[in-house]
Structure 1
Amino acid sequence: MKKIWKLYQRNSIIQFLISYILVLVVPFLILSYGFSRSFFIVEEEIKDSHVKMLQRSVNIIDNNLERLESMALQITENSAIKSMGRSRKTDKEYIITAIDAVNEFYDITHYQTIDLLDEGYLYFQGVDLILYSKTYYRPEIFQRYLQNWGTSLTSWRKNVVAPELRVPVYEKQGNTIEYRKPFSEYLVGDNNGVLVYRLKESGLKELLDFGNVYAGEKYAIMVFDHDRNLLWSDGSRQEPELAEHAFDSHGYFEKEGQSVIRVTSGRNKWDYVLVVPQKTALLRLGALKNLVFFLGGSAIVIGILVSVMMAVKKGRPINEIWGVLSSAGKNTDSYQKMGEVVTGILQDHQNLLSELEMDKTSRKKEFFHELLKAGFDSENQLRISARKAGISMDDTEYVVASFELFSNNDFNDIDSQTLDELRIIIRLIRNKLEELYQDRVWFYKKNYRDTFVIFAVEHNYEGIKKTIAEIYDWLVAEYQVNTSWGIGKVCDDLLYLWKSGEEARYALAHADAQMPVVEYNAKLVSDNECYFPDIAEEKLEVSLRGGHLEEVRELLRILKRENFEKRKVKRSLFIKFNRKMTELLSRFLKQDSSGKDLILWLNEIVINPEESHEEYFDRLDRVCQRICQETGEKKKQQRGIMIDNIIAYMKENYMDSGLGLAQVGTVFRVSEGYLSSVFKEQAGINFADYLEKLRIDKGSELLKDGSLTVNEIAAMVGYNSVQSFRRAFKRVKGISPKEARS
């Protein structure tokens, strides 16, 4: 020991080395104690955060269950539901009572959105019927749904329809939880019925999903009722023992490498138990410990090396080390802010995707409404709208059907009760068709009792006709309601779906009591009328005004086929057809001798009985071709004037850094897409390339002025940074601004 002391006193290097090591080790020991206490506090906070995380989900579930039970009470106390519960099949007003029950059950459920509610149904003891999804079922028919939910009809009658069951109850059923509420007017005796709600399994999984917290590790979540019966679970781990003394004040205990977190609902005393691997539950704490020990060990090693070096040089490393730590701290803060920005962008993207998905249903309805009204002017416009609506247009055929309720009633004779029945029955028809065809059927309500149905055929046209006949028979058998149906021809081009709609309407007009379902065919066509519906006239006018010759020719082919191949119209109807056509064409022809000559040229064919309709439509095609050509030239001239004005505007405002398609489109009241395509067509160059060249040409002129710096010139020609100006200059001129100036 004395030799070491003497060595220390004689050797200055060892003195400095030991001094520096003590300066490092002593603070490290103090920090180690502080870290150990901090780790304990952090561990307690992590446990508490896990419990609070589970508690938040429990609170949301409790809120949903409270609203669900309140809605269930409202339904079972409803007068229409009670009336249906007292009903028997022999009652005189049985059908009206049943429809009122459907209406009330649907309205109450529809206007109270509960996230955890998946589906529900009502069972009425007196009539032995089940009201589900706006339709009544006998239990023998309804058992296919019960089997899908994991129960048999016998078990269902024993557990759900049990007359001795008098209080509401939650029970595990299949992969989810069922809430059952019996209802009766008396305290004793059999129930009038029972209301059953099935909770949404995906909703439970979403609320009790902690995969992002536990970094993809396997975990299990279980829900027990107040009698410790398992109601629902997600995960493969075994059920833990719920001994009260095992949990600490946080509702947390660890056993056999597992961390068990329990939260008890204050509302219904359910236990929510989360089981995760112990290492996963404290994953963040373990990562923090590893990081601290790694940094501490690295600091000791680096410190000793620095101490040896500085001891030899007799220097002081404290200031340099402090500078390095300060610099590292700034970089860490920068990375943290960058991470927050990225997280925000991802969250905004996810929200946008959710909104688009919710909007897709309304876009589909709007899309087919426009089709039936011939609202699309071009194939390109139709395809863009179809893409936004999520509808595939490839290898699919479509057909339109139209149905009418109470066709024997006059409009003025319809009372309010009949209108209510109409709404209920239309709702039942829609439900039936959507159940069979899912997302391959759409509806367009024309008026209070006429509705169009659009089917995606997919080579199953006969199946659609069979389905419509079955729906007709079902309405007569179940509700004593007569309907009339008209079915159009198959359409393989969505742009002309309106024609199938017209055919369905025409077929519906020929439906009667002896033939309630009528399919459009050539036998329905009368020889005493020509085919030129208003919608075809409007479509032809729009196509001529837009200069779309191919669409005009397709409409003329339809008119020719319907009038001269199917109807074989007489000369008098031919004259009537020509008069209507020439009135339409006169709106586009010049009111001079050339325009009048074209009309007379068409009239020659109609007046001369020896001329055929083939020659007439040949001349008609030439007239329409001339109109489309003149329209196209006029539009091109107008677009040229607009682009000249836009270029003049750009030359006056090129120094504005915000100048772009959006700003110019707003000023000239056109869309960015239209402006981009028309600019390319008229100017022969992209909008952005023209703007860049304009700015660089102006910058080249300013470079001749030696008093201006490159930074000043960049700002004067609309660039926010000199780097952007240099890159653009190099791209356009092939040299840098400095080289150009020299």
Structure 2
Amino acid sequence: MYFIIEKRMSCLRKKGDVMDFYRLIDKYKWFLRLLIPYVLFIFLALLLGWLIYERTLVLVDKEAKVNNLHLLQQVKTTLDGRLSEIDTIVMQAANDPKIVRLQQLNNPFEGTNTYKIWATQKDLYNFSISNNFILNYLIFYRNSNIVIAPTLLYESEKFYRNVLNYNDLNYEQWHELFFEKNNRKGYFPASEATYLGKPHSIVTYRHPLGNLPGQALGSIIVLIDNNQILKLLGGLDIKDGGWTYIADEQGNVITSTGEYVQLAPGTLKGNEGYIEESRLTNGKVITYSRSAVNGWFYVLAQSPQVVLEKVNYIKRITFITALIFLIIGIVLAYFFTYRNSKPLKKIMNTIRDRFQGETDRTYDAYRFIDDAVSRLIDNNQALQDEIEKQAPLLRATFFERLLKGDFVAGNEIMSLLKHQNLSVEVKSAAAAIVNFAPKDAYDEVILKELDRQRVIIKEMLRAHQQQSVYYHDAAEDMIVLLFLESELTPDSCKHKMEDLFARMRDVSRSPFDLNLNIAAGGVYESLLDVSRSYGEAKHALNFILRQQRTGIVWFYDLPQISDSHYYPGEIETRLMNHAKAGDMDEVNALLDDVYERNFVQRNLSPSIQRLLIYDMAGSLMKLREQLSIEESDNVKSLLNQADSSEELSEAFRYAGEIYAGICRRTNERKKSQNVRLLENIIHCLQTLYMNPDLNLDAAADRMGISKVYMSHFFKEQAGVNFSDYLENLRMDKARVLLADTTLTVNQIAQQTGYNSANSFCRAFKRINGISATAYRGSAGGINTG
């Protein structure tokens, strides 16, 4: 836009028309007034983001330092544990009697001395070396000038030449350093050495033997693998020129990684801490921790770029994001300014067209709009008269919103109270519901009767001239009373409500013969709580209807509201199992128990009752899925009824009807399956009865069921035992063969499933009372023996 203005300025300068230039600036003044707030808002948002960003940098920096310190402490703890194990091993060896006895030995390889050395060397195996930091440990005896280890025995010079030699020490220097000069216990810094023919980096620990003043009789030397220590330090990030080292109490560096710069004495203060980068730290950020066990310092030096890697990453992302959002914000600000200016420009053109003679001399858009609004205010009074005509409808709408709790701010209520010519100073507010002649359904006659009773009740209220008491039609059989007291306290308001309710009950009985139920909610000090009082009144009315009571009930007098319903998991499981079994009696007993506990014994709020119905609907859905019942319209109807109904006990009864339908379907399905199974069993027996191996086990295997179930099922369905049925079937076939054929008894026995003629004859006589031969003769058959 400024580019356009600049272009126009250039054109105007060429023409020399300065007045038109200022006229142009004035013309676009309204555009700039819209653009500037957008831009200011963007910069304020960026400023807030910058403050949050600065705080984030501090927290991330602190987190990085804490993490470094934590890693150092882990290294310190691990190494302290390993060094303590080394001290334990050394002290065990130093106090071992055999090792101490060899201190006075001068000629180790003469007489029994050789055996003593061998026995002592053997005892060295008893010292546990579970510490993987230790390469080996050895004992040097000054008098005998020998070095022994669990697997080694040398004179000291040969030991140094063949087993262990340090790269920067000859034998004399090594001997003097470790066994002669200032022979006190301590650690020697890591040195490169050759041990058993292999290069190693070794930290050496020395512990003197003997108690002679100023001179020890020997030394215990522990060879510590420096690479194991460096592995611990390997977890520390030292890229970009960082380093780390471990120093003892005197400041001697035991081991290190990287090209370290040893800090001056006194630099490391306290047991742990941080040192920002400076010339003294060679531009590095120092993190250190001191061991409470041996006083060693663990020092980590990192490049600031490493420590602040996350910080720098956040910084880059933040700056890039801020720049992008700034550009996008300015573009959007220009776009919204242009878009919002279009209707403003259109309004200005409309105003110019309507008021050309009065407003043509100015280009200020806001003055145009101000003039138009002032004219609209002049016409507002004409609308007020029309609004007065709609006052009853507006008051009903106001009461409806007040009862529903649509208001969230007191200012809005106050303005509407003024508009309705009601008192704006309300000290006590409450709601009550008057219920008359409740019915389950309404026909034309009942509706007329309800209208008559509603008129009587309203006239009754007008006759008592109750100020600050208002009524509102809530349903065909309900009127809501609103108590908006500007002078009475809540207690006084409650007494007034009790008096009014008592008079209404007295008058309604005689002479009008009305049966009123009055449910009252609590009295509160704020108009915003009227909806709460109305909800309590509805809850009290539901309690009256559910308990089939009459009269006046206050929400305060109700039993304490339970905050949970009774529908435990075991009840749900039993209910589903009995339904799957088709046991309607047990299902009804469980449902009656659940209803009694929730709707009679407990005073549940509607929301908790609704939650109970939802849980029961969930059980029904699971039950249908387990029984492979596809249609679920009745469950959906149950959920709709729970959402829309005020009386949720009806929804509970509907759930019971659904359970009854499932039980009926289950029993029908079971009955159909039982008939088919019985037919299959009888067909199997009639087909295979001549097989002597046919018995209960064989038939059960053929049907794919257990013999126990087979036995109970056949007895229950056929009314006779399985074995009796099979035997009677075989006897029926045998009697026919005896009477109508010339087959021998042996042949008949084989054809009716008996293994021998003797077992057949015994069974025939036991069942029929006569022998098979006698039966054939009495039946007129041919006896063939």
Fold equivalence (TM over 0.5): no
TM-score range, shorter chain: 0.3 to 0.5
TM-score (norm: length of structure 1): 0.38
TM-score (norm: length of structure 2): 0.36
Larger radius of gyration: 2
